[in-house]
A and B are shown apart, each in its own frame.
Chain A
C-alpha cells in the first residue's frame, strides 16, 4: 500500500464550532465507569462483610434481644440478640453465591439448547421450541417449588429449581440470533473464503453471542436471587439454619406486628439495593464494551 498524500495533511487550526463539544469535564463514559466501579465495590463489600464478620456476632446474646438500630448495631438485633447487619450480610453472600451458580447454569443450558435448536435440524428445533414454550407458560415460582420440593429442599433443591426454570427466554434469543447469523452475508462469505465451520462458529458467531449471553446472565442473576429468596420465604427452599435472606424475611414477618420493624426492613432493603447494583453494573459494562455504542 502506498503511504503518500496523507503525510502532507496537517491538523488544520480553523473553524471550531461555538463552544466546542469536547470540553474537559464529566462525560458519559466517566459516569458509566464510575457507576461500574461503585456497584462493583458495593457487591465486593457485601461479600467481604459476609465472609469476614465472625460467627460471634450471629451467636445468641440474650441480654441484647430486640435492640433497635443503633450505632453499635446499625440494623438492630433479633429476638435471640443476633446482630442483624451480620446476618443480612451473610444472607446476601449466600444469595450471591446461589445466584451466581444458578445464573451460570441457566446460561449454560440456554446456550446448549439454543445451539442445538438452531443447528440440528427441524425436528430437534421443534422439540426444543415446544419445551421453551412449556416452561415459559408455567409460573416460575410453582415450577421451582415443585423441583425444589422433589429434591428435598435445601441448597441443592433451590439451585436446581432456579437453574432449571430460568433458561427458556435466553435459549429462544440465542436460537434466533444463531439462525440470523447463519444466513448473514459475512458468515456465508467466510465459508467461501475457505474457513471451516468450526472457525466460523468461534470467530464470527461466538463474538455476537457473547453479549447476548452476558446480558442474559445479568438479567437472570437478580431474578435468580429474588426467586431463591421467595421460595425460601415460602418455606420450600433453604433450611432455617442457613442465614438466607428468605429465612430472615420470613421469620421477621412474625415480629412485624410487635413493632420490631427493623428485622424485615433492613434485610429487605439490602436485597433490593444489591439486585439493583448488579443491574447497574451489568448495563454499564455492556455499553462500555460494545463497539456499536462505544463512540456515542
Chain B
C-alpha cells in the first residue's frame, strides 16, 4: 500500500483580472500520484506546470486564495488541513530549494535540533551532521555563513532528523555541477533505501532518471504518465504518452528535438486533452474529450491513443 496517495487533486486560484472582476485559474486538475516506502518518485515537468504547488498542497501550505479539491491520503488516512498541520515537519517533510527557507537569525544547529524528535535532539543533530560530513563547527553558524554545499546538506539534515516518513524535495538540484549533483541525489537515494517515501520534484529529467524508481510526468497541471525509470531508454518507444517521448527526445544526448507550441497555464483553457494542440498524433477525438487515466504496461497514461 502506498504511504502517500493523491487522488483527483485539483487546485485553483482566485485572481483579480482588472478592476473588481475576478477569475478562477485552475493550475492542477485531476491529478493522481502515489509514493510507496523505500521508493523515489520523481515528478518531472516544466516550470509553471504546477509541480511546486503539488508539494504545497500535500503539506497544506497553499496561499489563502487557493481552493483545493480531491483527496490526499497518508497511510490510508484522508488528510484534513488540521491533520496536515500536525504531520508537517513530523511525518511529512519538505526539502526546499534554498537556504532562504531557514530562519536567518537562528544558528543552524539549533534549527536542526528543533526539527528533531526523540529524547535527545542534540545527539540526533550531531549524528546527522556527522553523517553528512558537516564539521561540528557548522552547528554554530548562521544560514548566511554556509557555503552552497553546506546549505544543501543542512536542509537535507533537517528532513532526515525529523524522522519524517515522506520527504518531498522541491527542485533540489538545479545549477549544481556534477560532483554536487551526485552527492545530493545520493542523499535522497539513501533516504529511500532507509524505508522513506521520497517525492523528488524537478524539471531536470536527467537528474531524476539517475535515482528515481518511477517517473510521473507532469503537464499542464496533471500527471499525463507514470512510468518506470527503465522506460526512458533508446528512442523512447516504451514511453506511453507523446509528451513524455518529446521530453526524452528533447534531451541534448537524444536528438535535441524541440516541440513547437507552449504549455497552457490554465488547465481549463484547452478543450479535450491539454497536450492536443502540440501533439503529433492528435485526432479529432482528442479535441473533444479529455482522456481519462488508465493503466498501461505497468504504468499510467492519459492518452486516447497510447498502446
Contact = CB atoms under 8 A, between A and B. Distances in A.
Interface stretch (B22-30, B87-95, B151-159, B193-201): B22-30
Contact of A12 (B20, B65, B271, B277): B271
Nearest to B20: A29
B271 A19 contact: no
Contacts of A27: 20, 22
Interface in B43-82: 63, 65, 67-69
Interface string A2-40: 000110111110111111111000010110010000000
Contact of A18 (B14, B63, B69, B278): B69
Contact of A8 (B12, B14, B277): B277
Interface in A143-179: none
A17 B277 contact: no
B16 A11 contact: no
B54 to A, nearest CB: 16
Contacts, number: 64
A15 B63 CA distance: 21
A71 interface: no
B277 A6 contact: yes
Q: Which of A17, A18, A33 has the most CB of B within 10 A?
A: A17
A262 B63 CA distance: 48
B24 A12 contact: no
A295 B16 contact: yes
Given A22-B22, A22-B24, A9 B270 contact: yes
Contact of A15 (B20, B268, B277): B268
Given A5-B261, A22-B22, A294-B16, A14 B69 contact: no
B14 A15 contact: no
Given A8-B277, A15-B29, A29-B20, A21 B14 contact: yes
Nearest to A294: B16
A11 B65 contact: no
A185 interface: no
A137 to B, nearest CB: 25
Interface string B81-123: 0000000000000000000000000000000000000000000
Given A15-B30, A21-B65, A295 B15 contact: yes
A72 interface: no
Interface in B188-236: none
A9 B24 contact: no
Contacts of A11: 268-269, 271
Interface in B264-278: 264, 268-272, 277-278
B287 interface: yes
17 contacts: A5-B278, A8-B271, A8-B277, A8-B287, A9-B277, A11-B271, A12-B271, A12-B272, A12-B290, A14-B268, A15-B268, A16-B24, A17-B12, A17-B24, A21-B22, A27-B20, A29-B16
Interface of B: 10, 12-16, 20, 22-24, 26, 29-30, 63, 65, 67-69, 261, 264, 268-272, 277-278, 287, 290
Given A12-B290, A27-B22, A29-B16, 12 more contacts: A6-B277, A9-B264, A9-B270, A9-B277, A12-B272, A14-B268, A15-B26, A15-B268, A17-B68, A18-B69, A19-B67, A296-B63
